[in-house]
Structure 1
Amino acid sequence: MPQSVHDHVGAFVLPLPSTAARDVALSSKSHFCGHVVIGDGSGRGAVAGVPPRVVQVESYLELCWCLCLSVRADIADLREQMQFDWFDEDGEVHPHYFDLFVTRTDGTRIACAIRPTAWIGGKFGRKMPRIAAQARAGRFADDVRLLTDADLDPVELHNAWLLHGVREADPMADEAAARVLADMSGTASLAELVTRTGCGAAGFRALLRLIRWGQLRPIHHERITSATVAYKGSNL
């Protein structure tokens, strides 16, 4: 029997499925919704130990927060639409679906509700404190956070989109970047490091992957460009 394409090195492999407790709409005439693949490799398996996974989002704000959280160094796992059953003042039980649920590298679990600033009042504002208190008391999560558009850091968001776009490995460029990193001491601009790789634009993308994995770290909190100065990270 001939081998499946999945048996060949570098063959396309589907990302892990969504872990959502409920599915979001595939399309809508009234608001943004869709799927995004997070993790490393993006369809060709894990590159840096974080397998690609489908995450469902039902607003552009959720997508932005998903990308930002997915590339933070202290986030070990990210899930979406996690169900928590809470009870109201009459004792009636209702399901609440947290938009994102993250686990930090220290094991702390944080349930996240994501809403535009303009939508945090009204019914949501009245019931959310009760839901949060029950989630903490029931050890569903160690903490509950409300994430809004006002909390988004535009620099972090820009870099998250940039790093999200370079998930796919390029073996030759990645090997060249790894050699440059191994020989690196002190600081250097990404433009200098690209020259050392000898891989041009592919070398720049490979260096961005090293930043994504924490092996190369920008000195300043800024939008990452070729002028960004970086140093060797500690998690090598």
Structure 2
Amino acid sequence: MALTNHEVVDYHDQPPRVDFVYPDGTLGHHWFDALLTLHDGLRVAVDVKPKDNVEKTGIHEIQRLIKEQVGKRFADVYLVRTEDNIHPDDVFDAWLLLRARRFACAASDAVVAGLARGLHGWCRVRDLVVASGLGGAAFNAAVRLIGDGGLEVRDYARISYECFVRRARV
């Protein structure tokens, strides 16, 4: 999801380990799942855990110790994310957008963007695809346009042929 977020300008998967000291004096090592740099320069260290493992792993305590001992030398913000923080539709949409970007086609993008500029309300993605005459290439172009902020999805629905979209409000 971070790879599709416009606020994220740099994504470092599994950044170098961070060393810290437990209260009993033993040395600890931790590898964050990601280190994100946001558009405003803020660095965010993220751990992603199944919610059932959060307590068992002691991740909140580990992050507290790292924040106290290492602090802003590594990150400005430390987060733990579980399935409670991430909606399955958002994960699906991010996957779909990354997939659509692999099949980028300037001609399809131009056709769908032209159709989108002519929208004066909501329509289904399916209707844009049909109007384009391009088939699946138009679906991928519509997904890219959603990801780029040119179209918005009604009620934050999962992106699909059946979701409703409109020209994004500026």
Q: Contact (CA 8 Å) 2:63, 2:78: kept in 1 or not?
A: no
1:132 lines up with 2:63 in the alignment: no
Aligned twin of 1:170: 105
Name stretches of at least 5 consecutive residues in structure 1 with no aligned partner.
1-67
Aligned twin of 1:74: 7
Aligned length, in residue pairs: 167
User: What secondary structure does 1:98 align onto?
Assistant: coil
Q: Contact (CA 8 Å) 1:87, 1:93: kept in 2 or not?
A: yes
Question: For residues 138 and 90 of structure 1, do their structure 2 counterparts lie closer, same or farther at Cα, with a shift above 3 Å needed?
Answer: farther
Name stretches of at least 5 consecutive residues in structure 2 with no aligned partner.
none
Aligned mate of 1:141, from 75, 88, 93? 75
Aligned twin of 1:217: 152
Q: Which has the higher contact order (CA 8 A, sep 6+)?
A: 2
Q: Which has the higher helix share?
A: 2
TM-score computed with the length of structure 2 as normaliser? 0.82
Which amino acid in 2 is paired with 1:158? F
Let me know the Cα RMSD of the aligned residues. Answer: 2.4
Which amino acid in 2 is paired with 1:224? I
Aligned twin of 2:37: 103
Q: CA deviation at 1:165?
A: 1.8
Aligned twin of 1:50: none
Q: CA separation in 1, counterparts of 2:57 and 2:99?
A: 37
Q: Contact (CA 8 Å) 1:73, 1:214: kept in 2 or not?
A: no
Q: CA separation in 2, counterparts of 1:116 and 1:132?
A: 22
Q: Deviations over 1:68-109 (max 9, x none)?
A: 222223322211112233333366654422111112223222
Identity of aligned residues (%): 27
Structural mapping, 1:28-43, within 5 Å: none
TM-score computed with the length of structure 1 as normaliser? 0.62
Structural mapping, 1:184-203, within 5 Å: 184-203=119-138
